[in-house]
Amino acid sequence: MLSFANFMKWIFFLYVSCLLLSCSTTDRDYKYEDNFSFLETPDAKTQNFIKTHNRIAKESLLSDPSRLKENESILVSSQTNPRMTFVGPYVFKLEKNKRNPRGRLLFTAIDKIGQRSSVWKSAIDFDRLSAKEKIKWSFSKIDCLLPEANSCLVHLSKDGGDKVEVREFDLRKRRFVKKGFRVPIGFTKTAWINPSQIMVATNVGDGTVGSGGLANQVRLISRGQKLTAGKIIFGLQPDYISLYFQGHPYKNSQLVIGSQFASEKKNDFWVLTSAEPQKIPTPKASIFYGIHNDYLVFQCWTPWLVGAKRCGKGDLIGIHIDQAGSKQASEDKVIVLYKARPESSIYSVGVSSKGILVNYLENVIGKIVGVKIDSNQKKQSLRLRRLSGHLRLQEVDYRKGRFLVGSQDYLNPARLSLFDIDENKASIVKTQEASFDSKGMTYQQLWATAPDGVKIPYFVVGKKKALASGNAPTIVFSYGGFGITYTPKYDSLLGKNWLEKGGLYVQAGIRGGGEFGPDWHKAALREKRVVAFDDLIAVLKDLVIRKLTTKSKLGAYSGSNGGYLLGGVMVREPNLLKAVALKVPLFDMLNFHRFLAGSSWVSEYGDPRVSKDRAFLERLSPYQNLSKKVNYPSTFVYTSSSDDRVHPSHARKMAAKLLDYGSEVYFYESQEGGHAGAATLKQQAYWETMMFQFFQLKLGL
């Protein structure tokens, strides 16, 4: 699951488009010769391809059923510490096990978590709901009316996809409300206004959606009112392409903040009410985190100067709420809360009525500092008692100023603590049980040098003997896109299936991610995507130079955007890797805009419909640059028929073309799971078991 900060960054960069690109005209779609375009549609020929290769993959990579059962059991055991979500006075968690593979949504009072007397009540049993309605429902999110949080909107995902159906839920009675608010399945966003009204953005007919099928207007819906009859209170303005909104705790209620996006260099924020929306004077591009003592808290993604006060890239600022509706912010109404340093970046920010915790990364190691705005409207730094470990800020109790803080690394299981900002102390809520034997293991951070001289950080994890062997089977993970950062994490299946057996694991923080702030991400945008490829190639070569492994023992895996990344590496350095595994990958960069949400990613990748963009995408797209004359690494590709973010045709066509060129390829396509590739723990165990078996076979572990 994405951290709050990574979720906000994903939203920030997902809903962007080509309208403000330097080339204002768009050429017609070009047609390319493609012998495997039939795999873009789910016809009989495609289904036969899936069936045939699923059978081959299962026979080869699931030959030992006991491994699958063991991995599923490990995942079930890991669910003793599921992610928690704070909503008003309650904390929710989704608990999955073999009896409830789709999970039960449980809740209790935040005051009770960590106590022996705490009783978790079941709100929704998704297995029972799925059986009753004969639809494979999964939990997506829950949003409740503050402050009591008894009336909720539950987002239900069909087959694990991004599209959701929204239903009103009574938390006290623990049941859906008959004739309550309900929004049909779609790419939908909602927020409460009051007990009788909600805001909704969804597809309600022609002209109500924009790029990638995303809604382009927000409607105010009263109880019992049809969606089409709702008043449009916020809509996309000219030159903007997508919008987003969310309710945020404020005093004894909540405030809805809306935003609209043009590109990674331009977005706007608005206070949304049932009356006219009020624009907030902000930097040209920023991320919103919450409201503290009447100040709206933003992170600047472009520099902003208000009088003598400067908010640099990556800095955190507060803008007084009374500035909403003003064309320009007053200097005395803006407070610089945190200054980013070159070696650091903000990972997440928790905003409460009592104070603000800033979770920042220093050379990719998570740390936390605290600030508040006092009664004199001055910034006050908070002296926090030391919180140890690689820290991740996960949830915020807005009313009481309590923060759920996680601490974990590659070898130490997750520990959750509830930090009270008034008492300045943390109490342990839950500690995850160890899932593998880490005795004799260690990890270290190393740095590779990219072709342009930039130092690229990476972690190496494994047994000390393996690190010293010089030829340890090694798998490398990297992502490098959308400003998303991956930090040290305890991975039960990685430890059991790979580290315990003597393999090394490497995690690389290449450009395109957010390890060092906005500029680290922007360094690999569009035609500069080759920078991400070069960074990862530098890390892979550095592992060999340091004699940690050899090319014949070196593999890599990633997913989604990581398909583009590893595809680019395979095309440029086909002999550098022995094996590559990809999950729900993006691969065909000349056609990605044609499917699902693809057209909303052109600010990240470029637009194939624009001639100058098409020129560099033709050079970079892995699918079009595969060659019959090249021997590529053995490849395992895993995708999902229900993925409504990255179309499964990327994976199908990649596998088919590599097979046609004589490469060794294993392909598997699950029927549900969406972009996560799994809706149940068993489905997750499928992917992980097959991936580790693949690497064990190809890298000789």
Distance CA 210, CA 216 (A): 6
Residue among 420, 428, 383 at smallest CA distance from 401: 420
- Chain-centroid distance of CA 254 in Å reads 25
Please measure the distance between the N-terminal and C-terminal CA atoms of the chain and give it in whole angstroms. 29
Residue 25, pLDDT score: 36
Distance CA 20, CA 607 (A): 11
Sheet with 197-201, strands from edge to edge, namely 189-194, 197-201, 217-222, 231-235
Residue 29, pLDDT score: 54
| 180 three-state secondary structure | coil
In this structure, the chain runs to a length of: 701
Residue 80, pLDDT score: 53
- The HSE-up count of residue 534 (CA atoms within 13 Å, CB side) is 13
Residue among 318, 419, 430, 417 at smallest CA distance from 377: 318
Residue 19, pLDDT score: 30
Distance CA 491, CA 459 (A): 14
What secondary structure, in 3-state letters, does 625-664 show? HCCCCCCCCEEEEEEECCCCCCCCHHHHHHHHHHHHCCCC
- Amino acid found at 319: I
- The HSE-up count of residue 341 (CA atoms within 13 Å, CB side) is 7
In this structure, are strands 474-477 and 554-559 parallel, antiparallel, or unpaired?
Answer: parallel
Tokens of 519: 């500029």
DSSP β-bridge partners for residue 559: 583
The contacts of residue 375 (CB under 8 Å, 6+ apart) are none
Residue 82, pLDDT score: 64
Distance CA 543, CA 460 (A): 9
Residue 33, pLDDT score: 74
The contacts of residue 229 (CB under 8 Å, 6+ apart) are none
For the chain, which ranges sit under pLDDT 50? Answer: 1-28
> Using CA atoms in the order 307, 312, 313, 319, what is the torsion angle rounded to 10 degrees?
-50
Residue 155, pLDDT score: 97
Residue 194, pLDDT score: 94
Residue 367, pLDDT score: 93
Burial 683-699, CB ≥16 within 10 A → b, else e: bbbbbbbbbbbbbbbbb
Residue 239, pLDDT score: 74
Burial environment of residue 227 by CB neighbours within 10 A (0 to 12, 13 to 18, 19 or more): middle
Distance CA 166, CA 140 (A): 10
Distance CA 8, CA 482 (A): 11
- Residue holding tokens 């390890």? 515
Distance CA 455, CA 170 (A): 53
Quick check: 445 and 459 in contact, CB under 8 A?
yes
Residue among 543, 531, 567 at smallest CA distance from 657: 567
| Distance set, CA 408 to CA 403, 415, 487, 681 (Å) | 16, 6, 10, 22
Residue-wise DSSP of 223-273: TT--GGGSEEEEEPPTT--EEEEEEEEETTEEEEEEEEEEETTEEEEEEE-
Distance CA 502, CA 186 (A): 46
Query: CB 291: neighbour CB atoms within 10 A?
Result: 22
Tokens of 355: 């104070």
